[in-house]
Amino acid sequence: MEIKTNLRALRHRHKISVKTLAVYAGLSRQYISCAELGKIAATSRLERQMADALEFVISARRAEVRALEKDYAAYKGRLLREEEHPSEQ
């Protein structure tokens, strides 16, 4: 039976991909998968790398939410009107 870590639970609960975590941690997806399934030793260095990666994800998401809040405030009360500044898609 594989051990499932708190990291894995957080990642699943908050829809953080292994790929995203790998990018922020500077590790491979396979290495992170092994770590979160308890297949490799949980060193203090690895714990720190995972914590730093999660903090980067939190920071990025916080910035995205702030941008959404700002955009929403600009369009509040006019959400269903024609787009004022059409984006180039």
List, for residues 27-70, the tens digit of each pLDDT value. 999 999 999 999 999 999 999 999 999 999 999 999 999 999 99
Among residues 53, 33, 37, the alpha carbon closest in space to that of 45 is found at 53
Domain ranges, ordered by start, for the chain: 6-75
- Total-model pTM: 0.81
For 12, the token pair is 């699943």
Cβ distance 4 to 36 under 8 Å? yes
* 36 in Cβ contact with 46 (< 8 Å): no
Neighbouring residues of 22: CB distance < 8 A, sequence distance ≥ 6: 28, 29, 31, 32
Inter-helix orientation angle 6-13/44-75, to 10°: 20
Residue 89 has pLDDT above 60, yes or no: no
Arithmetic mean of pLDDT over the chain: 92
pLDDT of the residue at 18: 97
Phi first, then psi, for residue 79 (nearest 5°) are -65, -35
The CATH architecture to which 6-75 belongs is Orthogonal Bundle (1.10)
When pLDDT is cut at 50, 70 and 90, the band that residue 10 belongs to is very high
